[in-house]
Amino acid sequence: MSTTARDLALRHFRWIGGHANVWAIFRDAEALAVVVAALAAPFRDEHVTAVVGIESRGFLLGGAAAVELGVGFVPVRKEEGIFPGDKLVRESSPDYRNLRHTLRLQRSSLGPGDRVVLVDDWIETGSQAAAVRSMVEECGATWLGCSVVVDELTGAPRDALGSVRGLLTMRDLPPYEC
């Protein structure tokens, strides 16, 4: 019997100091390969031309999913840091911690004809994904949706993002321990 991406993600999930921790997935080669393949799977037949990922876990998961799909990767950087060229910039709506994030995408990285999926570890309020969708569409690209390890999104934000696929939901996770 093969181990599913869901099983492996749960096996490696921990609450640490009140924060969700999925970093252990990256240390286990089998878990990483299976999780990345599962993140790519819902969009495999959608003619994806680029995967976007938000700094930092989205860089790792998105880059790996791009390789899995045989397409390029487009980084979305937060705040400051070297990121040459003309950029689109968006400030996200408040996230679950009531923080706003400044997100940046290189304008030349996407254009008309591109079909884009966002890959990340977690989606809660959808605020960052909505900001990324806005930038992707401003570049003239087509937004296909999101693929995440943990999907906690509900209601209108979910409807606004189109297809959101998650390996796990909040209900699947072990109880939070102080």
Q: Which residues contact 116 (CB under 8 A, 6 or more apart)?
A: 48, 49, 50, 51, 52, 74, 110, 136, 141, 142, 143, 144
pLDDT at position 178? 59
As a whole-number percent, the residues of the chain with pLDDT over 70 amount to 98
Q: 36-168 has which fold?
A: Rossmann fold (3.40.50)
Q: What is the C-alpha separation between 144 and 168, in angstroms, rounded?
A: 20
Confidence of residue 113 (pLDDT cuts 50, 70, 90): very high
- The chain-wide mean pLDDT, for the chain, equals 94
pLDDT at 1 over 60: no
pLDDT at position 81? 82
Copy the structure tokens of residue 37.
């393949």
The number of residues in the chain equals 178
DSSP 65-81: HHHHHT-EEEEEEESSS
Q: What is the pTM of this model?
A: 0.95
pLDDT at 149 over 60: yes
